[in-house]
């Protein structure tokens, strides 16, 4: 099914400000469905110019049974099928009535139609729909909820709800069952639901709330008082010790520009915060493990260097040197993963690839280039975030390719007028990461066969094809001044990741 915005653009004549107004409404109207014990539907005239209406939104109450088993979003109704909607839209009035609707069977439904005023006038109609006869007791809680709903419905009719500015994304939209407090015009408690009373008890407030001035409770009083005066909603996160955390949503009630009260919805998120602390502890533990592994690998490298100084065979020294280099590249990954990632990565086992490749390049420039050579290595592009199971073998692959270039691409004491260059290019296309290592050296020798190459390139092929499930290609790049140059191209699949994930 198309998104709300797509349906509004395709099926109606609404402009962008009106669409944004309705989108804010459907993001916050779950609370209104709970207060009214009703299904809420959003009707907007279609672009067909025949008086029909399309349903752009629907929300079910969490306080009572729904009238709709199937989702009515996207359905189109003729004016005769929804006369109350048509009348509310054209006259700007609240209309009440009963209508026989074919839901699971023909059923008489109580309907209230509220015109929605947007930036430029009436732009749609919201209906509350419930059973005509119910067995719900007419309790104080139900009377209070219904009265509060109608205050917000009047705000919708006048264009004062939804609010123009409201926090989004931090917490899910509140529902009445979380705990509700109704405040009067002087910010005194006029009503508190049992769940709200329990939430205040967990915050250390054990007084009878009725009639108390909310600022006298001292709980986020300044922030809520300011929001009350500025006629804007606010979300506060309240802590009582380390074990209790309650989120308070404050919604001012406005009547023709004057704030006449407010609604507080409280939600205990103590379990959520406890899990957050456990996750933070787990991430800290993972980083500490990476740090210790890095230290152990550096110890192994030191032992190999000591061993290298005690052997006389040039072949043995070279083999030990290569082992030290490979261990160092893996240690670098663990060092990167051991650092605090902040908000850049989803987990402690993710790494921004460019932040890993650049230190590898510095390591090559500082320790792998032979005397008499002048090689400049640069990194271009970005491949986003990769998981550690990709970063580990890819670091070894990168080091081997750069070492291979340093060993074979350029001649010691070569042309002084031509700078020896190596360019590492990173990119991401959907779920495939690409890396090229290109030089302007002497190129591949005649008859070169990648499958019959030395140990370093054999390691590269094993990691790329077997460990990472990728592809590798080597070819001459057509370098300047008679040089052939060489280009190594890698393509590595990274399922579920995109460059925009960073």
| Same domain for 206 and 61 | no
Query: So what's the pLDDT on residue 47?
Result: 93
For residues 187 and 67, membership in a common domain is answered with no
What is the 8-class DSSP label of residue 466?
A: I
Same-domain status, 191 and 118: no
> For the domain that residue 135 is a member of, what is the CATH number?
3.30.450.280
Are 148 and 185 contained in the same domain? no
- Clarify whether residues 13 and 153 are in a common domain: yes
Dihedral sign (CA 300, 306, 310, 312): positive
pLDDT of residue 282: 66
Q: Taking the chain, what is the end-to-end CA distance rounded to the nearest angstrom?
A: 28
In a domain, 472, yes or no: yes
The pLDDT value recorded for residue 175 is: 79
Pairing of strands 121-131, 420-429: unpaired
Count of alpha carbons within 13 angstroms of residue 40, beta-carbon side: 27
Q: Closest Cα to residue 8, out of 59, 58, 75, 54? A: 54
Kindly state whether residue 399 falls inside one of the protein's structural domains.
Answer: yes
User: Cα separation of 428 and 435, whole Å?
Assistant: 9
Divide the 502 residues of the chain into consecutive groups of 10 and give the mean pLDDT of each group: 88 94 93 94 94 95 89 93 95 93 73 95 96 72 93 96 76 77 92 89 84 77 86 85 82 94 87 69 67 78 82 83 77 70 53 83 68 77 84 84 80 56 87 89 81 81 88 77 78 67 47
Residue 164 lies in a domain: no
3-class secondary-structure state, position 373 = coil
Query: Domain boundary at 284, 319, 340, which?
Result: 340
User: What is the model's pLDDT at position 345?
Assistant: 47
pLDDT for the residue 138: 77
Q: Please, are residues 55 and 87 in contact by the beta-carbon 8 Å criterion?
A: no
Residues 478 and 367 in one domain: yes
The Cα-based distances of 373 to 318, 319, 325, 364, 471 in angstroms read 19, 22, 19, 13, 31
What is the tally of structural domains in the chain?
Answer: 4
- Supply the angle between the helices 16-28 and 4-11 in degrees, to the nearest 10: 140
Residue 71 sits in the same domain as residue 143: yes
The reply to whether 399 and 465 lie within a common domain is yes
Last residue in a domain, options 268, 301, 318 = 268
3-class secondary structure, 203: coil
Please indicate, yes or no, if residue 166 is contained in any of the structural domains. no
Check: CB of residue 211 under 8 Å from CB of residue 192: no
Q: From CA 53, how far away is CA 448, in angstroms rounded?
A: 71
- Return the axis-axis angle of helices 388-408 and 314-338, rounded to nearest 10°: 140
What's the domain range around 180? 176-268
Q: Where among 158, 192, 223 does a domain terminate?
A: 158
What pLDDT shows up at residue 283?
A: 66
Q: Is 402 exposed, middle or buried (0-12, 13-18, 19+ CB in 10 A)?
A: buried
Q: Which of 226, 251, 250 is nearest to 238 (CA)?
A: 250
């Amino acid at each position: 099914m198309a998104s709300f915005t797509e349906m509004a653009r395709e099926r109606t004549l609404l402009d962008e400000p009106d669409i944004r107004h309705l989108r804010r409404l459907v993001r916050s109207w779950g609370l209104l469905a709970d207060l009214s014990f009703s299904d809420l539907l959003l009707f907007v005239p279609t672009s067909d110019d025949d008086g029909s209406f399309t349903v752009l939104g629907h929300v079910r109450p969490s306080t009572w049974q729904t009238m709709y088993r199937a989702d009515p979003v996207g359905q189109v109704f003729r004016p005769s099928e929804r006369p109350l909607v048509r009348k509310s839209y054209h006259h700007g009035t609240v209309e009440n009535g009963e209508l026989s609707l074919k839901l699971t069977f023909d059923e008489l439904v109580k309907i209230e139609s509220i015109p929605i005023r947007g930036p430029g006038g009436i732009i749609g109609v919201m209906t509350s729909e419930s059973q005509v006869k119910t067995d719900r007791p007419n309790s104080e809680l139900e009377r209070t909820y219904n009265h509060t709903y109608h205050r917000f419905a009047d705000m919708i009719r006048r264009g004062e709800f939804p609010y123009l500015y409201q926090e989004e994304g931090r917490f899910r939209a509140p529902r009445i069952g979380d705990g509700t407090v109704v405040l009067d015009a002087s910010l005194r408690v006029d009503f508190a639901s049992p769940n709200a009373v329990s939430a205040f008890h967990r915050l250390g407030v054990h007084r009878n709330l009725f009639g108390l001035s909310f600022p006298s409770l001292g709980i986020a009083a300044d922030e809520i008082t300011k929001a009350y005066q500025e006629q804007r909603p606010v979300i506060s996160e309240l802590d009582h010790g380390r074990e209790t955390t309650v989120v308070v949503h404050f919604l001012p009630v406005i009547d023709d520009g004057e704030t006449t009260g407010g609604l507080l919805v409280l939600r205990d998120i103590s379990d959520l915060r406890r899990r957050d602390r456990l996750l933070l502890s787990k991430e800290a533990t993972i980083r500490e493990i990476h740090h210790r592994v890095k230290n152990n690998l550096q110890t192994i490298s030191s032992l190999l260097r000591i061993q290298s100084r005690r052997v006389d065979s040039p072949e043995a020294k070279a083999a030990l040197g290569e082992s030290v280099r490979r261990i160092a590249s893996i240690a670098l990954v663990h060092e990167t993963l051991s650092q605090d990632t902040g908000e850049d990565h989803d987990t402690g086992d993710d790494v921004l690839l460019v932040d890993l490749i650049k230190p590898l390049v510095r390591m090559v420039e500082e320790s792998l280039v032979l005397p008499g050579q002048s090689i400049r290595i640069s990194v271009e592009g970005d491949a986003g975030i990769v998981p550690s199971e990709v970063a580990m073998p890819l670091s070894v692959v990168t080091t081997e390719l750069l070492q291979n270039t340093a060993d074979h691409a350029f001649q010691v004491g070569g042309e002084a007028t031509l700078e020896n260059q190596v360019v590492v290019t990173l990119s991401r296309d959907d779920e495939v990461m690409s890396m090229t290592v290109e030089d302007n050296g002497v190129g591949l020798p005649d008859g070169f066969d990648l499958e019959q190459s030395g140990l370093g390139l054999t390691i590269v092929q094993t990691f790329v094809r077997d460990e990472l499930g990728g592809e590798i290609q080597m070819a001459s790049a057509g370098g300047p001044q008679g040089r052939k140059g060489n280009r190594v191209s890698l393509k590595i699949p990274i399922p579920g990741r995109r460059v925009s994930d960073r």
